[in-house]
A and B are shown apart, each in its own frame.
Chain A
Amino acid sequence: MNMIELKNINKIYEDNTVALKNINLVIRKGEFIFLVGPSGSGKSTFIKLLIKEIDESNGNIYIAERNICNLKSSRISQLRRNIGCVFQDYKLLSNKTVFENVAFALEVIGKPVYEIKIRVPQVLKLVGLYNKLNSYPHQLSAGEQQRVSVARAFVNRPPILLADEPTGNLDPGTAEGIMKILSRINLIGTTVLMATHDRNIVNSMRRRVIELEEGEIIRDQKRGVYGD
Chain B
Amino acid sequence: MGTGEILWNGLALFLTLSIFSILYKDNPFYKIAEHLVVGVSAGYFAIILYYNSFIPKVWVPVVHESKFLYILPTILGVLMWTRFSRKWSWVSRYPIAAYMGIGMGVAIPVTMQAYILVPLYATMQPIGFTSMALFNNLLVAAGVLCALVYFFFSKEHTGAFGGVAKVGIWTLMVGFGAGFGLTVMGRVSLLIERFTFMRDYLQKLFGF
Bound together:
no
Q: Write the residues of chain B forming the contact surface with A, with a CB cutoff of 8 angstroms.
A: none
